[in-house]
Every structure is written in structure tokens, then in C-alpha cells.
Amino acid sequence: MSSDPLEVLHFSAPALLEAAEQFGTPCYVTALAELDRRAAALRRAFPDPWIRQYSLKANPLPALVERLAKDGMGANVVSAGEWAAAAQAGLPNRLISFEGIGKTDAELRAAVAAAAVGEPLRWVTVESGSEMRVLEEAARSARLGESEHFLDVLLRLNPAVTPETRSEFQVGSKTSKFGMPEPELRELVQASVSRPSGLRVRGIHIHVGSQLMGTQAWAEGALKACQLLAEMSHLSGDLDTVDVGGGFPSTESPSPTDFRESLDQHLDEAHVALPRWVAIEPGRYLVASAGWLVTRVLHVRERPSLPQVVIDASMSELIRPALYGAIHPLFALTTAAGLPVATEVEGAVCESTDTFGIHDLPPLRRGDLLVLATTGAYASSMFSSYNGRPRPPEVLLQPDNTLTLARPRTPFAP
């Protein structure tokens, strides 16, 4: 089935109406058939022995992580909370990688402690020399180097490329706060070889950006990482891994296959081979198009310019429009008869920036149901309880169109 929101809505509308009836609004709904379809497309583009890891920051709901694990996905986490969500989904540490610019000393010590008892994470990605020193100190305190246990480490390279995406998502640019320049990374590799500590530096991690609308910068960054790893391979026999990150868009194009073909072309032209282990870590690509946010009309107002409706969803449940100016397709599930007209759609919290843009909608009344599409990524994961709002329920739309409650509505707790 196509992932075009309007086409999918034709099949999903009865279930979305039922979700509103059973669980109230606003309500997150995830279509598992679309989730499976995206995972299968990813697997075709990056088959074994590629390591495929789902980036939980897009949506850490354990039920989704568990479903993607059945589709051959490990987990990529950026905090102890996401690590706990992956564990709750049943993933062992060996299928979980830990990265992120905000890792605390306690989180680094926890990663070392897990390795010390023989349950190491797949790897930990280090962002800087100072972070590496904290990790080394924790490893020495745990006497990790004196045992048969190790903790594998990747070093995050800032590839200094210009990703084909909006500026807020260009994390691989030269001025980004993420990763380290090549000279610092080289120094850390050399230092790790001379100071054994139970940490094994296995390779390089990059992530150039999100919602990439082109493949060039992604492939350039991956090529830089592979070239650098090959140049340093004489320093240690452990250097055998590159994680090329994610960034695949929620749209159908460019597809994962487009990214893979671009990478292969860059490698061929530079006469560079992939290392023994290579990984990807998509998030948005897998879950965005599978998500729906069902909402109800609260107010209908006639305005001199355009009619206006206020809905019971808000920037608390979907912050992307307020944060980035993102536009999510919006459709009416119930309505009065009449032709669609351009309508301003506003959110329910006390902020003028809480708006969902202008959409062509038929005449609406208080109580009518609407649905925002492609909300599976960075909606529930960025939920805010501002204005004392309860956390909406999260519902799974099974392939047979039945509904399963994955997380109930959670009241606001002051």
C-alpha cells in the first residue's frame, strides 16, 4: 500500500473514529502495517550484514521498539530513559547502542558497569576528549581492563558537510555542536591505543542531519568516515566499524535505496571499501508516516479573512508546527455537508504560536473529529505537560484494523 496520507486514510478512517470513541481525544494512533512496510524497505536497501538500529528519539514507545525488533532492528538510544525503554521492549544490551551529546557521568558509569558484569552495550559513541576521559576513569575504577570484559566505543566525527535539509537539522555541518573534528578524533584513537583501559575503540560514528532531501552530503560524510578509518587501521586491529547514522526522510523520496546507491557510487569512485561492520540508525523514516493524531473541534469562528477552528490537540501533543513551522496534512473524519474552504487551524494551549496552519476543510462544528497525519515521529516523544495537559493515550492500529492500547492517558501530576 502507498504511504500517501489521503490514500491510507481511506482504509484507516473507521479505526481512527473508533480510537476517538474508545480512548478520547487527543489520541496518538500508530499503524503497524505501515511500520512493517517501512522496516521491510529499509532491510532491502541495507541487508545483512548491515547493522540496522532504530533511533528511539523519534518515538520511544516500547511497543513500537518491540515491533521493530521483530523486523530486525536493534535500538539506538541517547539517554538512560531511552535505554530503559529499549530494555522494557525486550532488547538485550548487545543490541543497544548509546550515543547523544548529553550523556551524564552517571550514564557513562552505568554503561561501564553493564560491561563489567558481562552485559555490554553494542557500543557507546563518544562526543569529545573530555567525555572519553570520564569513560576511561570509570573503566579503570571498575577494573574493566583487568577482566575479560570490554566496552566497545565509537568516536563521533563532525564530517563538516552541508546537508540538504533545513538549518535546524544540519547536525553534520562544520559549526554544529555535535561530534569532533578529524584531528581530535585521531588523537583520541592514538591515546586509546597507548592507554589500555578495557575500552576498545572500534571505529567512527557520524550523523549528518535529519529529514534529508538529498543523498550527496550523507554519502560524503559516510565516505569521510570510511576513509579515515582505513587510514588509521594500522594503529589497532580493533578499528573495524562505521556507523553512518540516519537522516532518511519521512517522504518516499529519496528512499533508503537512493541513499545506499549514492554511498556505493561515492565509495567506488574513491576506491574505498566498507569496513567489516557498518551500521545505520534511522528513526523518522520508520515511524513518521505510521502515526496519526486524532483530535476534536472545540470552537468554530468566522473571521473576515478565513474561518478559524480551535482543536483539542496542541503544541503539547505535536510541537513541530510551532517549533519548525512544519505542516502536517490534516483531514476531517466527521463534518457537515459542504465544500472545503481554506481554514485556519489553531491549537488548544495559551500560546499564539500554537497553530497548525491553513488547511482546506469542509464546514465544521464543535465536536467534529479531525486527524493530523505523519505524526509518528517527534510528536509523543516531545510531549509537554504545559497548561497542565494530560499525556494522550497511545494506540496501536493492528494490521487487521483492530486497536490495542499501548499506553493509557496519563493525568497531569503537579
Name the residue with cell 589500555.
196
CA-derived radius of gyration, the chain:
23
CA atoms within 13 A on the CB side of 174: 1
SS3 275: coil
C-alpha cell at 10: 481511506
Active-site residue flag, 226: no
- Contacts of residue 357, defined as CB under 8 A and 6 or more positions apart, other chains included, come to 321, 327, 330, 344, 345
Taking the C-alpha atoms of residue 170 and residue 323, their distance in angstroms, rounded to an integer, is 15
Task: For residue 139, give the nearest of 216, 195, 66 by alpha carbon.
Answer: 195
Answer whether 219's CB lies under 8 Å from 172's CB.
Answer: no
Taking the C-alpha atoms of residue 184 and residue 137, their distance in angstroms, rounded to an integer, is 19
Reported as type and span, the H/E element at residue 285 is helix 284-287
Neighbours of 297 (CB within 10 A): 22
C-alpha cell at 282: 534511522
Reported as type and span, the H/E element at residue 34 is helix 32-45
Q: Which is the catalytic residue, given 269, 350, 352, 400?
A: 350
Name the residue with cell 544490551.
93
Active site residues: 350
